[in-house]
Structure 1
């Protein structure tokens, strides 16, 4: 009987070890899959398909532009300028995950009245060349900010950055390193790393994620008055992740929830666009100190 018990114990031990081995292999495989596919999971550009075929702002002169990054990568987008003489306040827009930004050129008259607006697709998005990466997005963002501020019809002391979702992380880092006059963050987060940890709890995400977008680390350095807009229903960026960012912002102007909005439709809603236009117009109309 003892021998039989020993055999059964050994067999059970082998089964447990075998199961542990299978679980380990599956865990390693899942971790490797997340690491290998993180660009697609995080950025997921939708190719060259335009959201708006012929974008045109009713309140601006609209023209397509091509700007070269510091490494020569071709970036494509739109420049919208008011029809009257400047200098005008300037706005640089940074889009979200999978967002092709031609719609901004269409809606700029409502969103950014009387302002010069630059909206350029990220690398790998729309007609822009190159591969998406946090490092490139931020470096290109600084370059685009400088490019717009140097236009003769733009007032470099009245420049704002606007970032939606993923782009909020770009806007924060650009505003940290440039003297932005104002900033608007639409459905912003504390960090992509924190959201990824929430989603992939069984994976050591901090070791495999290359594009962390840790806005919460930079928020306290922001000197620009910041307007935060949240979606009423948001299963992409839970409000708890926005809370952590808002707590760290150096100059919070307001933190509001847009009624009847979700993570996808929020920038297109008239109530959102009116709020952004009102905030920026009010800020830009104040005397410079």
Structure 2
């Protein structure tokens, strides 16, 4: 892999990689910590958009540090003049876009283009994941969108689930602060944790072998990209935070902490589904559609 260069928007911080098996993972944590505990990719293709009767285009993007990312562009099922916008979808930490695509497969029929990207190491994307690398990747994706003709006259929205939301917060905050084009007109965060360090400490606390080391190990996670520290900078772009009281992966309090830290305009949707299962409920889809419709004209 080529030497990693600094991102144009986000300050680079070198992070190390670590092994996947639990025993080796524990040793790596005890010896100095590892950001890779946030990433559980695989290379399996679970479903492709055509199996869902969706038109799509395979997209391959080169990152500044030499990786190649794979994504899917799903065009809106409307005439170009009737397209309501483009949703940039950042998925959660496990598997790849082919296992997450159902979360946004309903949007093209509602008049939205969707662009979904796999971070390095996921699916057909090259490389190995870490926090810094994934931040490179989500920025590479939005820069590709910025150059796409379909985004010139229609609003762009960011939808991040779980880890995808944690990556989307610093990306959106810097994009807004620097007045980049196309403008992000709304941000939706679904089941997102409030900070990498906070959730790492909680997970370490739940495992007997790392319980005693939860405080020092959590500090090996870089504190530069904590969502609660950056979410207020997304304002004046409207933000919708979704979190389930039954989320067994990212506890409910994370959503409330993000909502408290965010500046207006902001909204909170309390749900009652399992983690990242929001859009199996039609009423929750309607809430998001209503938010997107209002957000594009709100500022």
Q: TM-score range, shorter-chain basis? A: 0.7 to 0.9
Are 1:133 and 2:135 matched, yes or no?
no
Q: 2:259, 2:266 within 8 Å by CA — same for their partners in 1? A: no
Aligned to 2:9: none
Corresponding residue number in structure 2 for 1:262: 274
- With normalisation by structure 1, the TM-score equals 0.77
1:5 maps to what in 2? none
3-state SS of 1:174 partner: helix
Confirm whether residue 209 of structure 1 aligns to residue 221 of structure 2: yes
Q: Measure the CA separation in 2 of the matches of 1:194 and 1:269.
A: 29
1:191 paired residue number: 195
- The secondary structure found in structure 1 opposite 2:245 is strand
The whole-number CA distance in structure 2 between the counterparts of 1:268 and 1:36 is 40
Distance 1:176 1:43, change over 3 A: same
CA distance in 2 between counterparts of 1:55 and 1:38 reads: 37
**How far did residue 247 of structure 1 move?**
0.8
CA RMSD of aligned residues (A): 2.8
Within-5 A mapping of 1:1-289 = 32-34=28-30, 38-45=34-41, 47-55=42-50, 58=53, 61-83=55-77, 84-86=79-81, 89-102=85-98, 105=101, 108=104, 110-111=106-107, 113-155=110-152, 158-179=155-176, 180-201=184-205, 202-203=212-213, 204-210=216-222, 213-223=225-235, 224-259=237-272, 261-284=273-296, 286=297
Measure, in 1, the Cα distance between the counterparts of 2:283 and 2:31: 39
Q: 1:80 to 1:206 in 2, by over 3 A?
A: same
Q: 1:189 to 1:106 in 2, by over 3 A?
A: closer
Kindly indicate whether the alpha-carbon contact (under 8 Å) linking 2:161 and 2:192 is maintained by their aligned counterparts in 1.
Answer: yes
Give distance in 1, aligned partners of 2:190 and 2:45.
21
SS in 1 for 2:94: coil
Deviations 1:114-160 (A, max 9, x none): 22211011111111111111112122212211211221122367211
Unmatched tracts of structure 1, length 5 or more? 1-28
Secondary structure, counterpart of 2:80 in structure 1: coil
Query: How many residues of Structure 1 are paired with residues of Structure 2 in the alignment?
Result: 256
Q: What SS does the aligned partner of 2:156 have?
A: strand
Alpha-carbon shift at residue 37 of structure 1 (Å) = 7.3
Deviation (angstroms), 1:226 = 0.5
Which runs of 5 or more structure 2 residues have no equivalent in the other structure? 1-24, 177-183, 206-211
Counterpart secondary structure, 1:160: strand
- Give the alignment's TM-score, normalised by structure 2: 0.75
Per the alignment, do residues 124 and 253 of structure 1 end up closer, same or farther by CA in structure 2, a change over 3 Å counting? same
Q: Is the 8 A contact 1:150 1:156 kept in 2?
A: no
Alpha-carbon distance, 1:267 to partner: 4.2
- Please identify the structure whose Cα radius of gyration is greater: 1
Q: Residue 215 and residue 107 in structure 1: after superposition, are their counterparts in 2 closer, same or farther (change >3 A)?
A: closer
Please give the secondary structure, in 1, of the residue aligned with 2:165: helix
